[in-house]
Structure 1
Amino acid sequence: MALTPSVQVLRHRPYAHFLTMRVLLAGARQMEAVAIGWQVYDLARLDRTVEESALLLGLIGLTQFVPVLLFSLIGGQVADRLDPKKILIATNTARFLATVILLATAFLAPRHALPSIFAVAVILGTVNAFVPAAANTLYPRLVPRAELPAAIAWNSLGFQSAAIAGPALGGVLYIGGPETVYGVSLVLIGLALLAIATAKTPKHIPPRRQRGLAMMKEGLLYVRGNKIVLGAISLDLVVVFFAGATALLPIFARDVLHVGTEGLGALRAAPAFGAGLVALGLAFAPLTQAVGRWMMAAIFVYGLSMLAFGLSTSFVLSLAALGVSGAADMVSMYVRQSLIQLATPDGMRGRVSSVSFIFVSASNELGEFESGVAARLLGPVGAVVLGGTAAIVTALAWFKLFPALTRADRFDELPGEAPAPAAGAPAS
């Protein structure tokens, strides 16, 4: 039986190596996130209240965001200038060393462990300033343009699969202490390094010679002038900044739902489970029409599901609400990433990706800080309810603010340049 076009994208060996790296790193990061969140909250609760500990969890997100804000634009023009494969090797080596430090914190006294975790957060934030631009510059060159939406869907499916297994495994492994989680993460990161280092990627051809500041300015101006790209990027910023609840999950697991580390792993995995189901469907049956309206509807559903999670006192209902939120976010993310990639010329992808990631990181890491501050003032339940309401309002507002984004119908109608031919790929 012949493979469907969506599955055929995996026949490109360099892309298969890239996808393997992405899945292994995603699994390691999700496991570490569970361990860091519980470890920080557990250490904080030794001498702090729930609200004070929530603020400390939020500060972890802020600490990771500052390097992203400072270095992401640099990371974008570096990704356009240098071989993105080499950037990924270097950054993931740094991630490996950071995990070694995390492993050491399991054996330190609380007064030394917390500052060390915050130091690792700075390292990881710096790594995150360079990785997205390099990855988003590399993988579109590993497949023909016609197969790029399928590659995006498989990227999402691989990530969500790791995001389902990673938190669940991290929660179970944490029973043996944070050192067990960090030790397994080291192995996964090492295998990811091997996967990308052995990938036979196309030769990198940098754009015309430009000064670094000129390249960064060009990327910013392009994003500002392309209403579809700007609308898609800013939508993610506003929604996840207010409606994300990831940083508060240790509080819900310990002090609201009373389900321990195993329950925390399940709570973190629930959005990924819902997203994974949708990603699997999109990999085999991608959206082809009314993509803008699909995205807006998904944001509205996301807001409703976060309201349900915030008000729930049932573990099962909380899991279901988070699962629905992940499914809705997957639809939104799939459309956003496809619009951004297909509407951006090949020579601009690194810089546009860096701008995009500043917004994404602001919505995630800075959003975690916002969650911590809101929980400090309103309590964890009030913070989540406020966020869900903000997501619903945003979905309604973006209909008016970015009509071109809402009217986007088909991906193949978007302008853009074809990526460089994939290594060993047949002509498309």
Structure 2
Amino acid sequence: MTAQKNDPYEALRFKEFKIFLLARFALVFAWSMQFVVIEWQVYALTDDELSLGIIGLCEFLPAFFLAPFAGHIVDRKEKRNLFAICITFFSLISFGLYWLTSNYVSTTWQTNSILAGIYSLVFFGGVLRAFFGPTIFSLIALLVPKKAYPNAATWSSSTWKGAAVFGALCGGFLIAWIGINNTLGMIFLLVVFALILVMQIAKKPILNKRTDETVKESLKVGLKFVFNDKVILGALTLDMIAVLFGGAVAIFAVFAKDILDAGPEGFGLLNAALSSGSIITMLATTYIPITKSTGKKLLVSVFGFGVFMIIFGASKLLWLSVLALFFSGVFDGISMVVRQTILQLKTPDEMRGRVGAVNSMFVGSSNELGALESGIAARIFGAPLAVVLGGTVTLLTVIVMSLKNKPLRELDLRKDVAEHYDEVKSS
């Protein structure tokens, strides 16, 4: 086993991975802005916290229930083309939202009809989410060699979070500056730009050659692999609980409008603050490997996320709320990088689509289900208490996981990384 000097730019030395990162930044930037715009528009139309939860439900249902089938398909299809198809349909959804917020629709359609149109497009976006997650997870492994997986996971996760920072920030300010409709028009153009970038990546080989495996058998194998691996299952469970109960993104509009009296600009700041700490995470984790004491780092980061979400829920001051969300973002960014590194190193190549799909079910879909939970809890308890209770559930989950899951608590990925270096050296 050979130790290797850490190269913070290792994955960036591969041209197609850099193209992928730029495309992913454009997509997440657009998706983040679109989320902010739609949340603001729906709350402006309804003035009802539960309507924000309905948005989450519309995206959660298809994303969750279609994810296993999406993973089966992803493992058997060419990844570059599948990614391009997903982006193409995303562009159609963005254009549909642009049209639904036009002056013509606003003046001729009833509010309930506009809401039905928005919810329908969000639902179809959930269908795409089922495919986006496993496709991206599988594609990354085809753009860099195995020895660069940890660094690629760091850059990919940090790019996602960085795009979310600027997307959320720009979304809030652009609502105030150029209006909802023009902002959605910019989002559509960004998605088209991402599609053009992805087409610059060459087609990739299909690693799973099995054609005799039925859909049922394929899904069973994928789920069995995840649920039998305590490290992967524990990492996914931690993030799922943190996002499901600890997150409060779906009700930021309530805090900005009714509690902090901050308007759309403050709404953008709140969304951006949660992710902005990830910029620091990006710089730190590329220079300082997170493969040492990996399990402990994951547990501590999720615990820290829960603590600062409690502070945010209890805050009545804009500056304190932004600060609390910033540090929540720091810890959230660390946990994301750690989780993605674990998945990339522990997942066999021929099962990446299915494991990526399970990851989407646990973590990606919990964003939408968490939005529903946040909306319901905010209506019952009020937004501040709902966030405090959610953060408390997150802390309790970390404590239980640290006591009950010894393999995750003692996880150290330095051996896995060194083995990949040895494989490359021997070949």
Partner of 1:102: 97
| Secondary structure in 1 matching 2:9 | helix
Distance 1:157 1:427, change over 3 A: farther
- Asked if 1:54 corresponds to 2:57, the answer is no
Report the AA paired with residue 13 of structure 2. Answer: R
| Secondary structure in 2 matching 1:81 | coil
- Counterpart contact for 2:293–2:412, Cα < 8 Å: yes
Distance 1:416 1:217, change over 3 A: farther
Partner of 1:392: 395
Distance 1:415 1:79, change over 3 A: farther
> Which of the residues 214, 217, 220 maps onto 1:217?
220
Partner of 1:262: 265
Distance 1:414 1:11, change over 3 A: closer
- Asked if 1:82 corresponds to 2:77, the answer is yes
- Asked if 1:296 corresponds to 2:291, the answer is no
| Secondary structure in 1 matching 2:144 | coil
1:83-120 deviation per Cα after TM superposition (whole angstroms, max 9, x unaligned): 11111111111100001110012122323221111011
Partner of 2:122: 121
Report the AA paired with residue 392 of structure 1. Answer: L
Distance 1:120 1:162, change over 3 A: same
> Which of the residues 339, 342, 345 maps onto 2:345?
342
- Counterpart contact for 2:175–2:183, Cα < 8 Å: yes
- Asked if 1:145 corresponds to 2:166, the answer is no
| In 1, Cα distance between equivalents of 2:90 and 2:270 | 25
Partner of 1:48: none
Aligned positions of 1:301-340 closer than 5 A: 301-340=304-343
Deviation, 1:157, is 2.1
1:217-259 deviation per Cα after TM superposition (whole angstroms, max 9, x unaligned): 1001111111111111111111211111000100001000011
Distance 1:413 1:199, change over 3 A: closer
Partner of 2:88: 93
- Counterpart contact for 1:307–1:384, Cα < 8 Å: yes
The alignment's C-alpha RMSD in Å is: 2.0
| In 2, Cα distance between equivalents of 1:161 and 1:417 | 28
- Counterpart contact for 2:134–2:354, Cα < 8 Å: yes
Partner of 1:111: 112
Deviation, 1:28, is 0.2
Distance 1:10 1:169, change over 3 A: same
| In 2, Cα distance between equivalents of 1:101 and 1:139 | 30
| In 1, Cα distance between equivalents of 2:310 and 2:191 | 36
Mind listing any 5+ residue stretches in structure 2 that lack a counterpart? none
Deviation, 1:415, is 11
| In 2, Cα distance between equivalents of 1:415 and 1:222 | 23
The 10-residue stretch of structure 1 (407-416 or 263-272) with the greater mean CA deviation from structure 2: 407-416
Partner of 1:168: 169
Deviation, 1:360, is 1.0
- Counterpart contact for 2:345–2:416, Cα < 8 Å: no
| In 1, Cα distance between equivalents of 2:263 and 2:233 | 41
| Secondary structure in 2 matching 1:202 | coil
- Asked if 1:284 corresponds to 2:284, the answer is no
Deviation, 1:414, is 7.5
The 10-residue stretch of structure 1 (258-267 or 101-110) with the greater mean CA deviation from structure 2: 101-110
| Secondary structure in 2 matching 1:7 | coil
Report the AA paired with residue 174 of structure 2. Answer: L
- Counterpart contact for 2:207–2:350, Cα < 8 Å: no
> Which of the residues 3, 19, 22 maps onto 2:21?
19
Stretches of 4+ moved more than 6 A in 1? 414-418
| Secondary structure in 2 matching 1:74 | helix
TM-score norm. by structure 2 comes to: 0.93
Aligned positions of 1:199-214 closer than 5 A: 199-209=201-211, 210-214=213-217
Partner of 2:381: 378
Distance 1:362 1:415, change over 3 A: farther
- Asked if 1:189 corresponds to 2:191, the answer is yes
The 10-residue stretch of structure 1 (166-175 or 120-129) with the greater mean CA deviation from structure 2: 166-175
Partner of 1:69: 64
Report the AA paired with residue 244 of structure 2. Answer: F
- Counterpart contact for 1:27–1:165, Cα < 8 Å: yes
| In 1, Cα distance between equivalents of 2:126 and 2:17 | 26
Deviation, 1:366, is 0.3
Report the AA paired with residue 394 of structure 1. Answer: T
1:103-140 deviation per Cα after TM superposition (whole angstroms, max 9, x unaligned): 01212232322111101111110000011111111111
- Counterpart contact for 1:342–1:416, Cα < 8 Å: no
Count of residue pairs the alignment pairs up: 414
Partner of 1:49: none
| In 2, Cα distance between equivalents of 1:135 and 1:43 | 34
> Which of the residues 351, 364, 380 maps onto 1:361?
364
Report the AA paired with residue 235 of structure 1. Answer: L
1:400-421 deviation per Cα after TM superposition (whole angstroms, max 9, x unaligned): 2211111102243379999x99
- Counterpart contact for 1:76–1:354, Cα < 8 Å: yes
TM-score norm. by structure 1 comes to: 0.93
- Counterpart contact for 1:75–1:130, Cα < 8 Å: yes
| In 2, Cα distance between equivalents of 1:427 and 1:249 | 52
| Secondary structure in 1 matching 2:362 | helix
Partner of 1:5: 7
Partner of 1:50: none
- Counterpart contact for 1:345–1:416, Cα < 8 Å: no
| Secondary structure in 1 matching 2:87 | helix
1:280-327 deviation per Cα after TM superposition (whole angstroms, max 9, x unaligned): 211222223111111111111111101100010110000000001010
Report the AA paired with residue 328 of structure 1. Answer: F
Aligned positions of 1:126-137 closer than 5 A: 126-137=127-138
- Asked if 1:155 corresponds to 2:156, the answer is yes
The 10-residue stretch of structure 1 (205-214 or 11-20) with the greater mean CA deviation from structure 2: 205-214
Distance 1:11 1:414, change over 3 A: closer
Report the AA paired with residue 200 of structure 1. Answer: A
